[in-house]
């Protein structure tokens, strides 16, 4: 267990006024006002930076910024902490200054260019030692002046291992996180996907489920189920349910097997607190709770963080800092807790941050390099969504480069399609292919177990090869019919025929055809004639086109000025807001049944509702200007989610219940609970609404029930769940 230095005892230089960095490059003069502007211009242009106005305007300007950066000393970067809009050094930045003082003193006089040369010449031990002296800003600046070969070479030298039941990140190994997600958290489906992954030798890093429903009861049920599967199969690994940290801590208090504690991180305190409902003191308390009560004990690594470029910018809370630097600041915060694993999911958000294959690939290489250099056991999840221009081919290129760079682990999402989160990641087939291409094996404890099961074997030279049971999930079932019963509820289960470490061609063709059909749903237009007999009032966002909507999150989150001026206060309990979001097909298929049923349930419960609103090209955050204008207590946004990997999953939508904190007492309670003094809305979510997940009529019942709970307890989101636990 690591002793955490109190934030108040971490020394941070006093921020100085922005200075102007000037250079003449080939007779052309360039000037950059402030370190934030210099860092942004030095990076390769990505969609997020272009949208935020931080990208260089030309390749020559970019090289001018890089030349300036390369000439700055590490001391210069150290002495200029980046601040929030009020000029404050926030808690995330402050945590980044908990560096190895001896390593920093050694490198402080060096220019960034000189440090780069030293790392390229150094051996692995020196690279790891010097990395301890870097803040996130320093690591990000270094990443911006390195080419692809250099990002891979130094990251490979900086490989870091971590230990729970298995040792992940040892030389010669490539591990995987088995991710058996399901749209409704169906336990039989989770079982089937765990069996499938284990049969391909995946899951040695962790068995980790993203829950569709983030409640104490549901998360505990999944934890106990995963623990039973681990014990039943005998697989030496660890388990995690990737719920909010507050939910997991409640599960831990009630005796659930919270073996590895998860939380998503952000590189600015505003994003971490206002959007993720997390503070650094809360993470400190969570770390202490796991050390005291975690089933694996205090001597192992027991924290798990996920990060990925772009969340801060998407929420408009990046403090003028570019995506790469924000990402590195996440790593400076993660390092505080000596985690078991850090998983980077750059590509998960969509085209507003990374438009195409190149932007995603390069960002993943930067992220892996920065995390490893800063001392983290980095796994990678180069991924994509169907509303971006990123493809499976680009994602596979990224995984090959990251495997060469020494990534600790990749994901195992069955046949690349996450059935709950509707995005696309590496599969067990990909993990094994990468092992065979790069001569790697699973974690040693897991490998010996898998050899005993016939999943792997050793050849005459002692090398690891696929065994006779590789890829056969029936290995863990008492009979073929029993396994067939388990598979009945698995969406997109296209077969278990394999060709070496790859899926057989017939399986691949089916996967790719479904991807192509699902991607088309992104471009379907919202057709009011397909929404049943409910009378909607049509309003407009600031997004003038689908291209604006996909590329500019703030456009879809705001209302057209004329529309906003026309909305009148109705002061109903509930305002229903319907938007195509990322799939008009989801709205067409669900709204005709869901909205009439929801209105009827609200009416029977004596809950008033205003005339439903229809918002093409809308985002979830549009609920707030709508709520402010109409003065509803709750805005129920019914919105199309990004399409999943088959035709049915392209029909998935979610309900976001935005509770307006209208009275001072309620707002004060929410501020204390969240750590955000300016909080105005709290959100509860009901997801995966479609005929392959949560059917629309059942969704109407759950939404109405959640509305009643919010109104009765005057709380939503994590605060509501906490109140429900206390009332139970």
Q: How confident is the model over 350-369, as a mean pLDDT?
A: 97
> What percent of the chain has a predicted confidence (pLDDT) above 90?
89
> What percent of the chain has a predicted confidence (pLDDT) above 70?
99
- pLDDT bin (cut points 50, 70, 90) of residue 157 is very high
Which residue is associated with the tokens 């040369």? 117
**By the 8 A CB rule, do 175 and 204 touch?**
yes
Distance between CA 334 and CA 96 in Å, rounded? 9
Distance between CA 382 and CA 363 in Å, rounded? 9
Identify the pLDDT of residue 647: 57
Identify the pLDDT of residue 454: 98
Q: Would you state the structure tokens that stand for residue 549, as one six-digit string?
A: 């909507």
What Cα–Cα distance (Å) separates residue 692 from each residue in 71, 518, 695? 57, 14, 7
Q: Would you state the structure tokens that stand for residue 339, as one six-digit string?
A: 């985690």
Q: How confident is the model over 113-124, as a mean pLDDT?
A: 98
Task: Please name which of 490, 422, 441 lies closest in space to residue 641, comparing C-alpha atoms.
Answer: 422
Identify the pLDDT of residue 348: 95
Rounded to the nearest angstrom, the gap between the alpha carbon of residue 611 and the centroid of all alpha carbons in its chain is 35
pLDDT above 90: residue 533: no
- pLDDT bin (cut points 50, 70, 90) of residue 346 is very high
- pLDDT bin (cut points 50, 70, 90) of residue 646 is low
The string of pLDDT tens digits covering residues 61-80 is 999 999 999 999 999 999 99
Distance between CA 201 and CA 445 in Å, rounded? 12
The string of pLDDT tens digits covering residues 411-431 is 999 999 998 898 999 999 999
- pLDDT bin (cut points 50, 70, 90) of residue 692 is confident
Q: Would you state the structure tokens that stand for residue 414, as one six-digit string?
A: 């069955």
Question: What average pLDDT is seen over the chain?
Answer: 95
Identify the pLDDT of residue 420: 87
Q: How confident is the model over 248-270, as a mean pLDDT?
A: 98
- Rounded to the nearest 10 degrees, how much is the dihedral formed by the CA atoms of 354, 516, 587, 186? -90
Which residue is associated with the tokens 């499938």? 196
Identify the pLDDT of residue 485: 87
Residue 660 is given by DSSP the state: E
Identify the pLDDT of residue 649: 63
Helix (H, G, I), strand (E, B) or coil at 403: helix
- pLDDT bin (cut points 50, 70, 90) of residue 565 is very high
> Is pLDDT larger for residue 634 or for residue 534?
634
Distance between CA 714 and CA 710 in Å, rounded? 5
Which stretches within 17-174 are classed as H helix? 35-42, 47-52, 59-71, 74-78, 91-96, 101-107, 112-121, 124-131, 136-144, 148-157
Q: How confident is the model over 306-329, as a mean pLDDT?
A: 97
For residue 293, the tally of other CB atoms under 10 A from its CB is 14
The string of pLDDT tens digits covering residues 4-20 is 999 999 999 999 999 99
pLDDT above 90: residue 93: yes
pTM of the complete model: 0.94
- Give me the long-range contacts of 196-199 (CB less than 8 A, separation at least 24): 196/414, 196/428, 196/473, 196/496, 197/412, 197/414, 197/428, 198/233, 198/235, 198/455, 198/473, 198/476, 199/455, 199/469, 199/470, 199/471, 199/472, 199/473, 199/475, 199/476
**By the 8 A CB rule, do 344 and 303 touch?**
no
Identify the pLDDT of residue 522: 79
Distance between CA 266 and CA 309 in Å, rounded? 9
Pairing of strands 341-344, 378-380: parallel
Q: Would you state the structure tokens that stand for residue 554, as one six-digit string?
A: 């703030």
Which residue is associated with the tokens 């049920």? 221
pLDDT above 80: residue 489: no
Superfamily of structural domain 524-727: Ethanolamine ammonia-lyase light chain (EutC) (3.40.50.11240)
Residue ranges per domain, the chain? 524-727
In DSSP notation, 560-621 reads: -HHHHHH------SEEEEEE-TT-HHHHHHHHHHHHHHHHHHHHHTT--BPPPEEETT--GG
The string of pLDDT tens digits covering residues 20-71 is 999 999 889 999 999 999 999 999 999 999 999 999 999 999 999 999 999 9
Identify the pLDDT of residue 490: 84
């Amino acid at each position: 267990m690591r002793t955490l230095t109190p934030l108040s005892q971490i020394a941070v230089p006093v921020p100085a006024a922005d200075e102007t960095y000037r250079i003449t490059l080939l007779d052309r003069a360039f000037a950059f006002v402030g370190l934030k502007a210099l860092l942004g211009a030095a990076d390769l242009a990505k969609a997020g930076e272009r949208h935020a106005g931080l990208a260089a305007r030309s390749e020559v300007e970019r090289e001018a910024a890089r030349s300036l950066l390369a000439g700055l000393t590490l001391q210069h970067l150290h002495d200029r902490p980046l601040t929030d809009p009020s000029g404050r050094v926030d808690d995330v930045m402050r945590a980044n200054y908990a560096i190895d003082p001896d390593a920093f003193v050694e490198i402080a006089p060096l220019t960034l260019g000189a440090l780069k040369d030293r790392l390229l010449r150094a051996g692995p031990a020196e690279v790891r030692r010097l990395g301890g002296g870097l803040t996130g800003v320093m690591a990000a600046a270094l990443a911006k002046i390195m080419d692809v070969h250099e990002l891979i070479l130094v990251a490979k030298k900086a490989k870091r291992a971590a230990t729970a039941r298995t040792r992940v990140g040892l030389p010669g190994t490539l591990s995987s996180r088995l991710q058996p997600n399901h749209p409704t958290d169906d336990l039989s489906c989770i079982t089937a996907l765990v069996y499938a992954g284990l049969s391909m030798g995946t899951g040695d890093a962790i068995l980790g489920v993203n829950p569709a429903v983030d409640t104490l009861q549901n998360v505990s049920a999944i934890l106990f189920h995963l623990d039973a599967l681990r014990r039943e199969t005998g697989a030496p690994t660890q388990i995690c349910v990737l719920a909010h940290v507050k939910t997991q801590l409640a599960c831990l208090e009630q005796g659930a097997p919270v073996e590895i504690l998860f939380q998503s991180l952000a590189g600015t305190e505003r994003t971490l607190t206002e959007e993720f409902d997390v503070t650094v003191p809360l993470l400190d308390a969570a770390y202490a709770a796991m050390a005291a009560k975690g089933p694996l004990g205090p001597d192992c690594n027991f924290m798990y963080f996920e990060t990925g470029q772009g969340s801060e910018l998407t929420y408009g809370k990046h403090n003028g800092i570019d995506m790469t630097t924000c990402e590195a600041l996440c790593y400076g915060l993660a390092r505080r807790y000596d985690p078991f694993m850090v998983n980077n999911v750059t590509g998960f958000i969509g085209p507003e941050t990374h438009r195409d294959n190149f932007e995603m690939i390069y960002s993943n290489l930067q992220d892996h390099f920065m995390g490893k250099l800063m001392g983290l056991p980095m796994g990678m999840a180069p991924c994509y969504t169907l509303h971006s221009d990123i493809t499976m081919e680009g994602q596979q290129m990224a995984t090959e480069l990251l495997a060469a760079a020494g990534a600790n682990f990749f994901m195992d999402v069955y046949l690349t399609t996450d059935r709950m989160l509707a995005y696309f990641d590496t599969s067990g087939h990909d993990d094994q292919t990468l092992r065979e291409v790069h001569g790697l094996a699973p974690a040693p404890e897991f490998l010996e177990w898998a050899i005993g099961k016939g999943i792997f074997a050793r050849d005459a030279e002692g090398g690891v090869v696929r065994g006779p049971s590789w890829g056969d999930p029936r290995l863990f079932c008492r009979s073929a019919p029993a396994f067939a019963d388990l598979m009945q509820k698995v969406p997109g289960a296209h077969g278990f025929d394999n060709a070496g470490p790859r899926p057989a061609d017939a399986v691949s063709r089916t996967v790719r055809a479904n991807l192509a059909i699902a991607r088309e749903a992104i471009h379907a237009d919202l057709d009011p004639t397909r929404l049943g007999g409910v009378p909607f009032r049509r309003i407009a966002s600031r997004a003038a086109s689908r291209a604006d909507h996909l590329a500019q999150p703030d456009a879809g989150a705001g209302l057209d000025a004329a529309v906003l001026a026309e909305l009148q206060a109705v002061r109903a309990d509930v305002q229903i807001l319907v938007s195509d979001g990322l799939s008009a097909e989801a709205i067409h298929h669900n709204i005709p049944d869901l909205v009439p049923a929801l209105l009827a349930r609200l009416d029977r419960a004596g809950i008033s509702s205003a005339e439903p609103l229809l918002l093409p090209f809308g985002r979830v955050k549009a609920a707030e200007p709508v709520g402010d204008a109409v003065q509803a207590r709750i805005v129920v946004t019914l919105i199309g989610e990004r399409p999943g990997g088959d035709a049915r999953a392209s029909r998935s939508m979610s309900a976001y219940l935005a509770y307006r904190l209208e009275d001072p007492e309620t707002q004060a309670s929410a501020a204390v609970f969240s750590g955000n003094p300016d909080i105005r809305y709290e959100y509860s979510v009901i997801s995966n609404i479609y005929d392959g997940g949560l059917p629309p009529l059942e969704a109407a019942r759950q939404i109405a029930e959640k509305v009643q709970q919010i109104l009765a307890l005057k709380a939503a989101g994590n605060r509501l769940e906490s109140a429900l636990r206390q009332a139970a």
